[in-house]
């Protein structure tokens, strides 16, 4: 089957976006992996599917698949690309979209210069909602990784995240600690891992090891999680510039029981089509 797609990127976090409303398809895990493969397929961090709205309360559905073929609950950079795609191809003229994801409904607002603000919902720190296999909620959780004792924060932004502070992100052991924390037995659905260097209460540097993907140039939900944890622990302000290897995002969060907002850019890279064996 010949499938039309659009390649998009947000701060270097790249996506293959497929409209399954105009071309009804159902992709298997192996087909997702083939699409995402940078040598044998198109190549991307994640495959995003635009679907019909599952209820009258939302405008569209949005499914997210990692390179390994597993489905993710949420993706902030992908959400901005999703909104850009909808307006770029004239699927809606609304400036504010409500979109259903596996992690819940999110609100996307179009700004100027191809920027999009995403209402990411209320950060969830309850370990059962992350999920995280500890007995009680805490600001800091001690873990052992690579035979070293560290303290992390944990939060769900629609998908699970752990966050730890490091003196310098350029020398942080992302390649070693990332995989170990990603598959730590206390995270039954695995976890995204954020390494944060505090510049000031309004500015941080961040590297993220994404679950099912590895380190990426940017991670929208990772930026949100870093600010949520930092603010919850008392070392970040309400408005924070988050600098990732691929670029910067602006995160605002008023605190407990309030939604968190993320603003950043997105870009259409190219359009194309790929032929897949739909029997596999």
Positions marked active-site:
75, 219
Q: In degrees rounded to 5, what are phi and psi of residue 24?
A: -60, 115
Kind of pairing between the strands at 203-210 and 247-253: unpaired
CA distance 198 to 129: 27
DSSP string, 69-113: SPEES--HHHHHHHHHHHHHTTS---SEEEEEETTEEEEEEE-ST
**Strand pairing of 96-101 and 60-66?**
parallel
Question: To which residue do tokens 């698949």 refer?
Answer: 65
3-state secondary structure of 44: coil
Q: Which residues contact 155 (CB under 8 A, 6 or more apart)?
A: 123, 124, 125, 130, 161, 163, 225, 228, 229, 232
């Amino acid at each position: 089957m010949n499938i039309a797609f659009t390649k998009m990127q947000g701060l270097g976090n790249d996506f293959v976006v497929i409209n399954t409303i105009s071309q009804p398809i159902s992709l298997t895990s192996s087909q997702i992996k083939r699409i995402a493969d940078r040598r044998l397929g198109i190549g991307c961090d994640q495959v995003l599917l635009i679907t019909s709205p599952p209820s009258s309360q939302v405008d569209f559905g949005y499914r997210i698949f990692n390179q390994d073929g597993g489905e993710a609950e949420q993706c902030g950079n992908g959400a901005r690309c999703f909104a850009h795609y909808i307006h770029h191809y004239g699927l809606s003229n609304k400036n504010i979209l409500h979109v259903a994801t596996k992690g819940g409904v999110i609100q996307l607002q179009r700004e100027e210069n191809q920027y999009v603000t995403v209402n990411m919902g209320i950060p969830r720190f309850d370990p059962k909602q992350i999920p995280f296999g500890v007995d009680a909620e805490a600001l800091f959780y001690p873990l052992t990784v690579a035979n070293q004792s560290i303290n992390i924060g944990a939060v769900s932004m629609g998908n699970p995240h752990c966050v730890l502070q490091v003196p310098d992100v350029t020398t942080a052991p992302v390649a070693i600690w990332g995989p170990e924390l990603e598959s730590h037995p206390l995270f039954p659905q695995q976890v995204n891992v954020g390494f944060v260097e505090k510049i000031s209460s309004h500015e941080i540097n961040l590297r993220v090891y994404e679950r099912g993907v590895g380190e990426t140039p940017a991670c929208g939900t990772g930026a949100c999680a870093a600010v949520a944890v930092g603010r919850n622990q008392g070392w970040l302000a309400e408005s924070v510039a988050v600098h990732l290897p691929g670029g910067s995002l602006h995160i605002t969060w008023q605190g407990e029981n309030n939604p968190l907002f993320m603003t950043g850019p997105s870009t259409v890279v190219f359009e194309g089509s790929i032929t897949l064996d739909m029997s596999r």
